[in-house]
A and B are shown apart, each in its own frame.
Chain A
Amino acid sequence: MTNHWIDLKNSDCILIMGSNAAENHPISFKYVTMAQQSGGKVISVDPRFTRTSSKADIYAPLRSGTDIAFLGGMIKYILENKLYNEDYVVNYTNATFLLNKDFSFKDGLFSGFDSQKKSYNKSTWTFDNDEKGAPKRDLTLKDPRSVFNALKNHYSRYNLALVSRITGTSEADLLEVYKTYAATGAKGKAGTIMYAMGWTQHTVGVQNIRSMSIIQLLLANMGVAGGGVNALRGESNVQGSTDQALLWHILPGYTAMPKASQASLDVFLASIKPESKDPMSVNWKQNYPKYAVSMFKSFFGENATKENEFGYQLLPKAEDGKSYTWLDIFDEMYKGSIKGFLAWGMNPACSSTNAGKARKAMTKLDWMVNVNLFDNETGSFWKGPGMKPSSIKTEVFMLPAAVSVEKEGSISNSGRWMQWRYEGPKPLGNSKPDGDIIMELGNMLKEAYKKEGGKFPDAILKLKWDYMTNGKYDPHKIAKEINGYFLEDATVMNQQFKKGDLVPSFVFLQGDGKTSSGNWIYCGSYTNKGNMSARRGQKDVASNIGLYPEFAWAWPVNRRIIYNRASVDMTGKPNDEKRWVVKYTFDQKDGKYVPGKWEGDIPDGPAPPLSNPDGTARADGKYPFIMQKDGLGAIFGPGLVDGPFPEHYEPLECPVEKNFMSGQITNPTIPVYGTDADKVASCDPRFPYVGTTYRVSEHWQTGLMTRPQAWLLELQPQVFVEMSEELAKLKSIKNGERVKVASVRGSIECTAVVTKRFKPFKIGDSIVHEIGMPYNFGWRWPVSGKEESPNLLTPSTGDPNTRIPETKAFMVNISKIKRG
């Protein structure tokens, strides 16, 4: 979230799309309800009418996988009706930048596509720079080569009739949503988006979110209370685990993963240091080298020295061009190249897309260690449906883990709040906190490498690994390490620090080895003043917008709303005077304006705004989007692998033979896997219906923690498939009967829920039916063993940027079960 949960209450219009917040983030509805009771509108866009839709002012159905068409139509509507905030678009976004004259887009493809490699050469996705090297700008928005006009041109194709043919949403519904949401472009109005896996789990997942980011920039909704782009994380600490680099392509704090070709520290540091030639751009990411070196000092302690490149050579490097995501891990495992597997707090036998492939892949392992609260479908895969235990060699070890309430430590919620929690009951039996398990594992690895040597013992032996107190994992030691220390006495920015002091903020981090910090964005969370995340202050800011700056701690630097400098006009005056986030007051000296101060939330840097109150420009003013190289919101976003503007492509498996928008049916850069388990059936009469997956309020993820819980199983006892009355009639299916749902990859038995909440879509000139299933089930529990995971049906493909799997749109068939 750029904003945070409580901030939802400040919104004039909440678009809930790609999420079913009422069911899957039930507490969020406390704030959604508050917004509604203050006159805000709630819009629910979903293939199925959900509990969220039941509370919305407007509901619009769309076919799964067509969100970019839907949102592209909104971009066109905003531009053509001039509903964007022109001051904001001109001054705070890159809409005014002139594009490289060789940049082009033709029939679904951007310039630079290599059809052999299925990837883009992005050399033309650049700006036309002036002699100093800064992008040329056209503040009148008239130049045909400006980003603004390229955007207008790109989405000119997304007319209502065409969008309706693709999405299946009626033109009237599209217009009502566009009109209602675009009204938040007015001065002092705020609109926000709540999205979750309904947007990410597609072959165009990242571009779905980019589409909304563009809309939010056009409507001046970034940086304001009640605005922003808000990802609702699927678990209470997913934000924290991502911050700490759960994903392969980053190190903690979103530092890029070193590549094999980056042979020295200097080469690596240069690659993570963007350069801007515009003095008005803060270009904060140019500080990354300091953060990286401080992180290496944290990893390796005294073993990281200037002479050994601060331990850079001890780090693993990713092979250039190679991907190491979940999809890739299970593909490699399936092919037999992975021998051992730690399944830690995961249940891939049910949560993996194409779970049948994942289960079969596990049979190729020599060993698996399953660290979890309970035995699950993963640890017991060898005795699951269709498995022959005597022919499976994999040795499985179960390590019982303590549940979250039995452990002390922090979680970071979707709103980036790091919140300290205390140990409740003691862990049961032999179960241990994950911290203890990983510390002991590390100690034993160190011992083994010391005794026996190995291919590269230093990577383990030189790790700083001193986070235990009296033989127990100490969460405070880890939290302090993540924050960082001064490793020597130092004077930074006129402040004196002693060796051993905790670093109060990342602005003090050094690139010469004098400081450590396990994760720069958390620097400031645990300082000499104490554990900031354990704070429980109840005081709000003066504007009463629910920031509660003394409750817990938010990264970065306790900033509650990111890019908040974009909430003020050029002179630092809030655009929304009532719900203001920050404001700037200049001082005057000798009849001149001199720097004054910001009030409210922690601003994105202390520099004054771009103009004086009399409208004259300031040389020391800074642009608001400090994490962007050019300092301005990226309407043109060349950072992704599949295009600088989002474009509608069909899902890998889709019900239409052609993409109505272009000659390119699917995203041209999507990952494809080639084993015999990676079957695809698109536009195949055997699988005529669109399938999607979701969760229910009553179960948690794959249901590991909730299916054995009798009170929850009572509420949702069985895996079900929801379908329209029309489809049920077509297939002679009765409400409540057990039916078979199949894709080309597998099939499961479900209880039919025949409902008015699904309706057939009119796509092009055809009727397309969609069905949906909750993925919260698996054979291990309930005891019948018949409630299987719908992920047995989902495909092995995903977004080309992140490789998050496409589990939200695929093709299936549904049939009655013939008994006896």
Chain B
Amino acid sequence: MSKSFFVDTTVCTACRGCQVACKQWKNLPAENTVNRGTNENPADVSFNTYKVVRMREEVIDGKLKWLFFPEQCRHCVEPPCLDTAGDKSAIYKDEATGAVIYTAKTKGLNAKEIIESCPYNIPRKGKDGTLAKCDMCLDRVQNGLLPACVKTCPTGAMNFGEREEMLALANKRLGEIKKICPSAKLLDPDDVRVIYLVAYNPELYHKFAVASVFDFGITRQMALAKMFRPVKNIASGLV
């Protein structure tokens, strides 16, 4: 059974406990930041920052909304980065969970190509060329614990579990939210293991919140891999 996250942005308060918990569990160093005229910080994901809560002020239908989007690697069902790398010792998929894992051997990859292959613009290069991103807290998950970001979330915005359960939860919440907010949708639920529920146009949350239809399947390696792709789980059909 594979795993998935369900991220319900409609109940996220941007307390950013997830962002700190991620750094704490991974013991990642803090970045030297300045206030850039926003609460959001650091400015982007980086080699040392796997998770960033995006905050956007938008006026929708004449009312101010503050949209929060806890961003991280989506752990794609068919990861373009994995296909692009074509080297299972550098980027591989953990079969049990579906986690997409980067090893120290990513140092040997063409970082630019890998980053560009990601429809969500997530992987980041370290000084020595190694690539890094969220690893689903695989060490925790393999020991029966929740990922650190999920464990720390107070409101139920961050959820994690069996993929079927997460899809069911996502569709249940989508149904509830749609009654209040008809524009609500799940983002790429069939393609990713980090399924976001947003109330409004996803592009208002973040440029890369949702993958463009053209973002998948652009490299030669991926084209080859696609020939063997199994039938997709049509999760959105459950709504």
Contact residues of A with B, CB < 8 Å?
A: 22-23, 26-27, 29-30, 33, 37, 49, 51-55, 59, 696-698, 710-718, 720, 734-737, 751-757
* A751 with B34, Cβ < 8 A, contacts A30-B155, A54-B65 known: yes
Interface residue B129 (Cβ < 8 Å from any Cβ of A): no
B207 at the interface (CB under 8 A from A): no
Hey, which chain B residues are within 8 Å of A26, CB to CB? 13, 15, 17, 154
When distances are taken between beta carbons in the complex, the residues of chain A under 8 Å from B154 are 26-27, 29-30
Closest CB-CB distance, A45 to chain B, in whole Å? 15
Mark the stretch among B35-43, B83-91, B229-237 that contacts chain A: B35-43
Nearest A residue to B40 via CB reads A715
A63–B14 Cα distance when bound, in Å, is 25
Out of B15, B29, B41, B68, name the residue touching A710 (CB < 8 Å): B29
Closest approach, in angstroms, between the C-beta of B69 and any C-beta of chain A?
12
Using Cβ atoms and an 8 Å threshold, which residues of chain B touch A751?
34-35, 37
Contact A718 B35 (CB under 8 A): yes
Q: What would be 10 A-B contacts, judged by CB atoms less than 8 Å apart?
A: A23-B15, A29-B15, A51-B66, A697-B14, A710-B30, A713-B33, A716-B35, A716-B41, A717-B32, A734-B37
Known A23-B15, A54-B68; 18 more pairs at CB < 8 Å: A22-B13, A26-B17, A27-B154, A51-B15, A51-B66, A59-B64, A710-B29, A710-B30, A711-B24, A711-B30, A713-B33, A714-B42, A718-B35, A734-B37, A736-B37, A751-B35, A756-B64, A757-B64
Inter-chain contacts of A53 with B (CB < 8 A) = 66
**Bound: A698/B20 CA distance, A:** 10
Interface hub of A712, A715, A734, A756 (most chain B Cβ within 10 A): A715
Q: Which residues of B sit under 8 angstroms from A716, Cβ to Cβ?
A: 35, 39, 41
Tell whether A711 pairs with B20 under 8 Å between CB atoms, given A22-B13, A27-B154, A53-B66: yes
CB pair A757 B66 closer than 8 Å: yes
Interface string of B81-105 (1 = CB under 8 A from A): 0000000000000000000000000
Check B37–A752 contact: CB distance below 8 A. yes
Which residues from chain B contact A698 at a C-beta distance below 8 Å? 16
User: Do A713 and B11 contact each other (CB < 8 Å), given the known contacts A736-B36, A751-B37, A757-B66?
Assistant: no
Complex Cα spacing A59 to B57, Å: 15
Smallest CB gap from A736: residue in B? B37
Q: Kindly supply a per-residue 1/0 record for chain B positions 133-162, scoring 1 wherever the CB is within 8 Å of any chain A CB and 0 otherwise.
A: 000000000000000000000111000000
Q: Does B19 make an interface contact (CB < 8 A)?
A: yes
A735 CA to B35 CA in the complex, in Å? 10
Complex Cα spacing A736 to B20, Å? 24
Alpha-carbon distance between A320 and B17 when the two chains are bound, in angstroms = 49
Known: A30-B155, A711-B30, A715-B20. A753 touches B14 (CB 8 A): no
Flag if A33 contacts B11 (CB, 8 Å).
yes
- In the complex, whether B59 has a CB less than 8 A from a CB of chain A is yes
Bound form: Cα–Cα A479–B208 in Å:
55
> Which residues of B lie under 8 Å from residue A710 when comparing CB positions?
29-30
Best-surrounded residue of B11, B17, B37 (most CB of chain A within 10 A): B37
Which of B23, B41, B64, B156 makes the CB contact (< 8 A) with A30? B156
Chain A: minimal CB distance from B58 (Å): 9
Q: How far is the CA of A253 from the CA of B36 in the complex (A)?
A: 48
Q: Which of A49, A55, A715, A718 contacts B16 (CB 8 A)?
A: A715
Chain A residues whose CB sits within 8 angstroms of the CB of B68 once the complex forms: 51, 54
Contact (Cβ within 8 A) A55 B11: yes
Lowest 4 CB-CB distances: which A-B pairs, in order?
A736-B37, A735-B37, A710-B30, A54-B66
Whether B203 sits at the interface, judged by CB under 8 Å, is: no
Q: A22 near B57 (CB under 8 angstroms)?
A: no
A736 to B24, CA, bound (A): 28
Q: Does B61 lie at the interface of the complex (its beta carbon under 8 Å from any beta carbon of A)? A: no
Q: Which residues of A contact B128 (CB under 8 A)?
A: none
Complex Cα distance, B64 from A631, in Å, reads 46
Complex Cα distance A708/B24, Å?
Answer: 15
Minimum distance in angstroms from A732 CB to a CB of chain B:
15
Main secondary structure of the interface of B (DSSP, over half): loop
What's the Cα separation between A737 and B67 when bound, in Å?
A: 24
Give the CA-CA distance A713 to B14 in the complex, in Å. 16
Query: Which residues of the other chain, B, contact A59 by a CB distance below 8 angstroms?
Result: 64
Given A717-B33, A756-B64, A29 and B38 contact (CB-CB distance below 8 Å): no
A29–B37 alpha-carbon span in the complex (Å): 26
Shortest C-beta distance, B78 to chain A (Å), equals 34
* A697-B15 in contact (CB<8A): yes
Total A-B Cβ pairs within 8 A: 97
Contact assessment for B155 and A714 in the assembled complex, using a CB-CB cutoff below 8 Å: no
B17's nearest neighbour on chain A, judged by CB, is A26
B16 engages A33 (CB within 8 Å):
no
Give bound CA distance, A27 to B24, whole Å.
Answer: 19
- Chain B contacts for A22, CB-based, 8 A: 13, 15
A51 to B15, CA, bound (A): 8
Complex Cα distance, B156 from A712, in Å, reads 22
- Binary CB contact string for chain B from 46 to 78 against chain A (1 if under 8 A, 0 otherwise): 000000000001010000111110000000000
Q: Please report the C-alpha to C-alpha distance between residue A716 and residue B33 in the assembled complex, in whole angstroms.
A: 8
Digit string of B1-32 for contact with A (CB within 8 Å is 1, else 0)?
00000000001011111011001100001111
State how many angstroms separate the Cβ of A106 from the closest Cβ of chain B: 42
Which B residues lie within 8 Å of A712 (CB)? Answer: 20
Docked CA distance A11–B156 (Å): 19
**Judging by beta carbons under 8 Å apart, are A756 and B59 in contact?**
yes
How far apart are the CA atoms of A757 and B66 in the complex, in Å?
A: 9
Which of chain A's residues have a CB closer than 8 A to the CB of B23?
711
Which of A33, A53, A753 has the most CB atoms of chain B within a 10 A radius of its CB?
A: A33
Q: Return the chain B residue nearest A712 by Cβ.
A: B20
Contact present for B13 and A753 (CB under 8 Å): no
**Cα distance A55–B24 in the bound complex, in angstroms:** 27
A756 pairs with B155, CB closer than 8 A: no
Q: What is the minimal beta-carbon distance from A232 to any residue of chain B, in angstroms?
A: 14
With a cutoff of 8 Å between Cβ atoms, the chain B residues found around residue A757 in the complex are: 57, 64, 66
Tell me whether A717 and B156 are in contact in the complex, defined as CB-CB below 8 angstroms, given that A22-B15, A26-B15, A711-B24 are known contacts. Answer: no
Assembly CA distance A37 to B155 (angstroms): 11
A-side contacts of B15, CB under 8 Å: 22-23, 26, 29, 51, 697
Q: Are A51 and B13 in contact (CB under 8 A)?
A: yes
Closest Cβ neighbor of A55 among chain B residues? B13
Cross-chain contact of B41 among A55, A714, A735, A737 (Cβ < 8 A): A714
Contact partners of B36 in chain A: CB under 8 A: 736
A27 to chain B: closest residue by CB: B154
Bound Cα distance A30, B13 (Å): 10
A53→B32 CA distance, assembly (Å): 30
Chain B residues within 8 Å of A713, by CB:
30, 33
- A717, A734, A752: the one contacting B34 at CB < 8 Å is A717
Contact among B19, B30, B35, B59 for A753, CB-based, below 8 A = B35
Cα distance, A712 to B42, chains bound together (Å) = 11
Q: Which of B13, B17, B34, B65 contacts A718 (CB 8 A)?
A: B34
Least CB distance, B31 to chain A, in whole angstroms? 6
Give min CB distance, B21 to chain A, whole Å.
10
Q: Quick one: which of B19, B30, B39, B67 has the most chain A CB within 10 A? A: B39
CB <8 Å contact, A714 and B38? no
> How far is A133 from B170 in the complex, measured between Cα atoms in Å?
64
**Closest-CB distance, B36 to chain A (whole angstroms):** 5
In the complex, what distance in Å separates the CA atom of A712 from the CA atom of B15? 12
Name the one of A55, A714, A756 contacting B33, with C-beta atoms under 8 angstroms.
A714
Within 8 Å CB of B35, what residues of A?
Answer: 716-718, 720, 736, 751, 753
Please give, as numbers and ranges, the residues of chain B lying within 8 Å of A30 by CB-CB distance: 154-156
CA distance A697 to B40 in the complex (A): 12
Across-interface contacts of B31 in A (CB, < 8 A) = 714
Min CB distance A166 to B, Å, is 23
User: Contacts of A718 on B, CB cut-off 8 Å?
Assistant: 34-35
Whether A717 contacts B64 by the Cβ 8 Å rule is no
Please determine whether A753 and B20 come into contact, CB atoms closer than 8 angstroms. Answer: no
A49 touches B64 (CB 8 A): yes
State the CA gap A716–B17 with chains docked (Å).
13
Q: Which of B20, B33, B37 sits near A754, CB closer than 8 Å?
A: B37
In the complex, are the beta carbons of A714 and B37 less than 8 A apart? no
Report the separation of the CA atoms of residues A200 and B35 in the bound assembly, to the nearest whole angstrom: 29
